């Protein structure tokens, strides 16, 4: 992985907290390097495999073609140089606003609760802050995925809508729309 295409976050916990404990997750958190790398033609197959493992839905070839052109809006997460997660977004200009849509954000089960998801969300938040021209960030979450809903709420997202039958071929088929509002549109004053 080229250093120029990565943004790094090094997490260091107290090594004293791991002394005398056999928990592998505590040791993993003690000193871990989480990096976000670009999605390229060389690693797109890793992204496809990761998405097959993490998500209950399949993504078509157009999704992956678009991801390759997404630049900063698509990143693969590495935990100590191992591919463990990814985030893929796109700009949405519907509903008279400019919004960032998180198409996918996921992490392998064994690496959850180690900060990988937080690094990916912070990357998205930093991106919209740097650009400064987004009204909101939104995504869909299956209604029974309480872990994901609680995770996004920690970053200021809230459920703004529930879409019936959003998913095909998985149960439950309903999805919550979670949104983090960044700025509100003020309607023009009546003349």
Task: State the catalytic residues.
Answer: 101, 140
| C-alpha distance from residue 162 to each of 70, 118, 144, 149, 167 (Å) | 27, 24, 12, 13, 12
Q: How many CA atoms lie within 13 A of 142 on its CB side?
A: 14
For residue 150, give both structure tokens: 């609680």
Q: How many CA atoms lie within 13 A of 112 on its CB side?
A: 10
């Amino acid at each position: 992985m080229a250093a120029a295409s990565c943004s790094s976050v090094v997490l260091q916990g107290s090594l004293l907290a791991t002394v005398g404990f056999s928990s592998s997750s505590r040791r993993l958190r003690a000193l871990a390097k989480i990096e976000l790398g670009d999605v390229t033609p060389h690693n797109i197959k890793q992204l496809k495999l990761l998405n097959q493992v993490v998500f209950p839905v399949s993504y078509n070839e157009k999704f992956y073609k678009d991801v390759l052109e997404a630049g900063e809006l698509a990143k693969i997460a590495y935990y100590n140089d191992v591919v463990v997660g990814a985030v893929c977004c796109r700009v949405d200009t519907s509903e008279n606003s400019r919004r960032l849509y998180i198409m996918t954000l996921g992490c392998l089960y064994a690496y959850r609760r180690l900060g990988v998801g937080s690094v990916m969300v912070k990357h998205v938040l930093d991106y919209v802050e740097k650009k400064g021209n987004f009204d909101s960030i939104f995504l869909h979450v299956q209604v029974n995925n309480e872990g994901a809903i609680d995770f996004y709420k920690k970053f200021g997202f809230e459920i703004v809508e529930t879409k019936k039958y959003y998913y095909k071929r998985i149960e439950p088929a309903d999805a919550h729309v979670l949104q983090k509002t960044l700025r509100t549109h003020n309607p023009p004053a009546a003349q």
